[in-house]
Each structure stands twice: as C-alpha cells, then as structure tokens.
Chain A
Amino acid sequence: MTIAAESSTVTRVPFDPEIAPVLDAMAQNQQPALSRETLHLSREGADTLFPSAAEVIGDLPIDAADLVIPGPEGAPDLEITVLTPRGHDATRAALPALYNIHGGGMIVGHRSWETARLVELVAELGVIAVNVEYRLAPEHPFPAGVEDCYAGIAWLSEHAAELGVDQDRIVVMGGSAGGGFSAAVALMARDRRGPAIAGQLLLCPMIDNTNTTVSSHQYAGIGTWTREANLLAWECVLGEELAYSTEAPAYAAPTRAADLSGLPPAFVEVGAAEPFRDEDVEYASRIWAVGGEAELHVWSGGFHGFDMYAPGSELTRAALASRFSWLRRILGR
C-alpha cells in the first residue's frame, strides 16, 4: 500500500510564537532523519541520556524504586520504576496510581525520558506513579509492545494492595506512542475484562496508522514528529503489509476499533499544529458519539509534545493546569 505524496496546496496551522523558536533551534542543529538505518543512533545510550530518577527527584519527598515484574506469558520480564510519596504507608492508606507508558513512536525512547513529567504529577497530586519499559519495534513488532504495557498494568492492579494503591483509581497515561498504547490498553482491559482503569490520559496520542487526515499531511517535513517519522514507525510496528491499512488491529492503532463504548473516561490533549491533531479529535468525537466520557484540548499553535520541548511557555503552563484539573476530577470521584 502506498501513501499519496504531499499536496502542494496544504497550508499549515502556524506555531505559537512563544514556542516556535524551539523548532528553529532544532533546525539549526539538524539530526539525521529517523530511518531504519539511523534508529540505532537514537537507541544508543537512551537509558542514560536523561537524568536518573534520583537526580530528577532531588529534594522532593518522593521515593523511587526499580522493580522487575513478569512480562506477558512466554515473554521476558519487564522493568518498571515506582515513584511513591515519601512516608506513604501501604498498610494504612491506598493512593491513586498513574501508570505511564513512554513515547517514542513505539520505535525509540526509554521510560527515564518521562521521569520528570511523573515526578511533577506525584508532587502535585500525591499519587503513586509506575513507569513501564516495553519492547520496541521493529525488533519486537506488534503486539510485543502493547502486550508488555498491558501485562504491567495488570500486575499493578493485582499488586495494588501491597503497593498501597487504590485498585479502583488507576489511570493509564502516556504521550505520543505512549498515548496510543494507553488507549490500546484501555481497549484490551475492556475486551478481556481485565484490570479496572479509572481513566485514560492521552497526550498527543499516536492512534491512527493510515496517515490520511489533513493534519497528517500538514506536518510533513516539519516539527518534532513528522509525517515521515510516523510512516516509518507504523511500518516498523505493523510490517509493510498492514502498515497503513484499515485492516490493522485495534490494539496497534486504536482508531481501528469498531466500538469505543464502555471505555474509562478519556482526556485527549494535542497541539493544533501537529500531525496527530485530527486523529485525536476524531477519537474523542467517536467516544462522545456512543455516550462515553471524554475531555478534549487542542492547544493553539502547539507542536507535537510541546510541553516537553517548551516547558516554560504559557501554552505548557495552561496545558498542565487542564491536565491536573481533569486528574483531580477523575481521582476525586
């Protein structure tokens, strides 16, 4: 299956002027384009590229523990990091938990890249966070990654009591590929009558493998996650045959799910100036159409993952405030 070439009539939504310089700076410091040949460059040292949990936590009253837990049946074990408010006594109180799945197009990335995002949430909300490491494509194509993610949240739910987690207040969350995995895990938990999931926090989620939306065409060759990178990623995950096909499985590309009813409340956040805008709006619209709960935020001029790249911007401040608000509403029920 081939993808039509970019139309020359496409006009992009402009980037927010406060955050646009981040992209300009990246353009000055051009990295080799992501390809099957350069993937290894993005993988080398990925686990030490970002500061350790202890460094990120600093003086904050949060404890970090790395654990190894069983993977899916017949598959390797999983590494997770658990972040807990200091002084939490698992025998006395049960806290809500955020189960985080990191981004990176399902082909790159490491959970440590998102420690800072989780530390902020633990500090702000007083919850426990669990950050999971899953297998990457193309070495481990679908369904390896998503089954790892599902096994991790199933383990968390089963071991909630010993971790001091409230089994009924576990939210699955992630950005980009992690948002897609989170949506998939919510579908799997529904279909398999698996762990109770109180909410799905989907940040610029990667959920549509067809690359046919307007926004998927608007951001060819520009931004922090381009159309070209997305085409590569889906081919790595699904293989050539299914890469961009409407026949792809829903647990790989959640927009392929025929039915979006019976899912936990969703929070969908995306930038207006990025490839996933339209697929994410569509996903929320489909949830509402069947009477489900969802909240949608599309931030003006936001590029993919803007909160990670432009942490001090007004756009990021406002986006984080709406995230915290939704989490408080969901966890306060």
Chain B
Amino acid sequence: MTLDSTIRPVPYDPALEPGLAAFLELVEGIPLRADTILANRAHFATIIPPIEAQVAGRAVTAEHRVIPGPYGAPDVEITIVRPQRASAEPAQDAPGVLSIHGGGQVLGTRFFGTGELIDLAEQYGAVGVAVEYRLSPEHPGTAAGEDCYAALLWFAANAAELGVDPARIIVSGASAGGGLSAAVALMARDRGGPVLAGQLLNCPMLDDRNETVSSRQYDGIGAWDRNNNDTAWDAILGSDRFTDRVSPYSAPARAAALSGLPPAYIEVGAAEVFRDESIAYALRIWAEGGQAELHVWSGAYHGFSGFSPDAIVSRAALDARDSWLRRTLRLPASPSVA
C-alpha cells in the first residue's frame, strides 16, 4: 500500500476526536487483517456488554429464541426486545425493528445491535428482533444476508403474536449491518417477500470494490479504514471479489436496479470510508424515483454517534434519525411508551 500524498482527508470535528481515539483504543487495538480476524472477533465479543447488563434498569424485556434458518442451513438465534408493559395485555400494532449488527460481516454478535432496540422500545414502544447471522470467512458469500432474511420472514409471519403491525416493520443496522439491511430490502423486493416500511442504513458497508475517493482518504487513519474494509470484503467474497459474480445480497451497490425499495434513511460521516458509496446509493435510489433521506455529518468518523453520543453533531444525528422514524412509522411527535 503506497500513501498518495495528493489525497487529503476531510478533517475531523474537534469535538469527535476524543471519541475516535477511544474507539481506536477499545475496538481496533489489533489491525484487522486476514490472520487476525479470529483474534479480533474474540476481542470484540469482550467489549459488547452482555444483554442482561444492557436491559438492567431499562423498561424492556429480552427473550432469546431459535428460529428456522434459510433452507438447508442451520437454525438462527434471535433476541426479541419488547417494551415492559404494566398490563398483561400484549402490545398491539407496535412498530417492528429488525436489527442487524455491524462488524464487517466478520465480527460481532447480535448484542452489538440490541442497544438501538432497547432505545426504540422505550421511546416508541417498538418491538425489536436482533439476529445472530453467520460470519465470514467461515460462512462467506450470502450466508449472512440469508440468515438476516430468514429472521425477517419469521418476524413478519409472527407479527401478530409479537403485537407488531406487519405494515410497520423496518430493517436497521450500522456498518455491515447497514449493508445487510440494504441486502434484506433487496431480497424482500426480489422474492416478493414481506413489505418493509423502511430501511435505516447507518454508515452502511455497501460496495466491495473500495474504489471511491473516501475509501482512499481513510487509508491507515480513522475507524474502519480502507485496510479493515479490504480484509472484510476479501473474507466475505474470496476470489469472487471485484468480479461480476458478487451478489447484491452481499454488496448491495452491485444491484442492477434500486427501484421498488422501501424508503431509505442513509446517514454517514463526512470523514470516513463509506461516505461516497453511501451517497452513491442514495443518488441511485432517487434517480429511479425512490424515497431516500441522506445525512452526511461534517467531520464525523465511522460510527461517531455511538461512540461520541454527547457531541453536538451526534445529538443532531440522533435527532434527524428520530425525525425520520416518526415520519416513516407515523409515530407521535412526543414519544411515549405504549
């Protein structure tokens, strides 16, 4: 890898620099390379708080289940996060959120995505499902996407039991989870599956080609830099990477058409690898007459709103996301638990 001196990265918001430093120290102590994926996975698992700790003191319950996996594949573990209710009556017509965790499709567990579900259950009475999908390189290609889609099928089929309005289920994820959320939306469209109410794509990992300007601006710097991204896509796609054999269910940027998709919310930092592929995805949706909202936050690193939640820019990002949820799921302006 040669450093191109003509490439200048977008500078970070000074208020985000402490959060970025903490992220790098906590999460990326070991550079992610082909031979360090398993070591990183083991380390990553230690920094995700256990679900019991996540729900402690929160007005939610968490329930683990095993549901059927994709055809011919193992079962899939999920965790259902529900608002705690005063009465024994089940929820009715609650919004539903399928959460897909991040970690480059090579790291992480579903409990990396449950924090968002706990917040949404408390705030809007949403019922959430967090899915444990298979990781690369052991399970390459579309295994991850197919597991997530199996969870969506189960969620939609069991909406009534869960007290969820089947017309108000969205898919949501950050980083690899954003990419897989986009993949699930494509699969649901292509297969005539459940009609999603929205796709919330937070700093999504969409394109295996790693060829945008932003993918070169963050080479050796920042959170989830170009090299981490290369490692992950190599693990997911092997020798198919960069070829026409790459499925859009692995890398949604490869989809030939982006029409007929649920409304998208795409947010990303201006100072990170995924900036340009996120923008390109939004532009393609609009060009085909689809609905998308795009927010590119100034000077923000990959995953900034989670690791620097108190910075002004992070609070604005959370507020904008909340607004889209309210508009898309027709939620009340003043959030309350049902």
Binding site for B on A (CB under 8 A): 10-14, 16, 18, 214-215, 218, 265, 267, 272, 277-278, 281, 284-285, 288-301, 314-315, 317-318, 321-322, 325-326, 328-329, 332-333
Contact = CB atoms under 8 A, between A and B. Distances in A.
A329 B333 contact: no
A321 B319 contact: yes
B287 A288 contact: no
Looking at B10, B259, B298, the one whose CB has the most chain A CB atoms below 10 A away is B298
B122 interface: no
A299 B298 CA distance: 16
Interface of B: 7-11, 13-15, 213-214, 217, 259, 263, 265, 270, 275-276, 279, 282-283, 286-299, 312-313, 315-316, 319-320, 323-324, 326-327, 333
Given A272-B292, A301-B291, A328 B312 contact: yes
B320 A318 contact: yes
A277 B287 CA distance: 10
Nearest to A11: B289
B323 A318 contact: yes
Contacts of B298: 265, 267, 293-295, 326, 329
Nearest to A326: B298
B263 A300 contact: yes
A13 B299 contact: no
Looking at A299, A300, A314, the one whose CB has the most chain B CB atoms below 10 A away is A300
B184 to A, nearest CB: 20
Contact of A291 (B11, B259, B275, B324): B11
Given A11-B288, A291-B217, A315 B279 contact: no
A137 B259 CA distance: 40
21 contacts: A13-B292, A214-B283, A272-B292, A284-B296, A285-B276, A288-B276, A293-B10, A293-B298, A295-B297, A297-B296, A297-B320, A298-B292, A300-B263, A300-B292, A300-B293, A314-B326, A314-B327, A322-B295, A329-B13, A329-B312, A332-B312
Looking at A296, A314, A332, A333, the one whose CB has the most chain B CB atoms below 10 A away is A296
Given A11-B259, A326-B316, A333-B14, 11 more contacts: A214-B283, A214-B286, A214-B287, A267-B298, A272-B291, A277-B286, A288-B217, A288-B270, A294-B10, A297-B296, A321-B319
Closest 5 CB pairs of A and B: A11-B289, A291-B8, A325-B316, A318-B323, A300-B293
Contact of A317 (B286, B295, B323): B323
Contacts of B286: 13, 214-215, 272, 277-278
Contact of B294 (A296, A318, A321, A326): A296
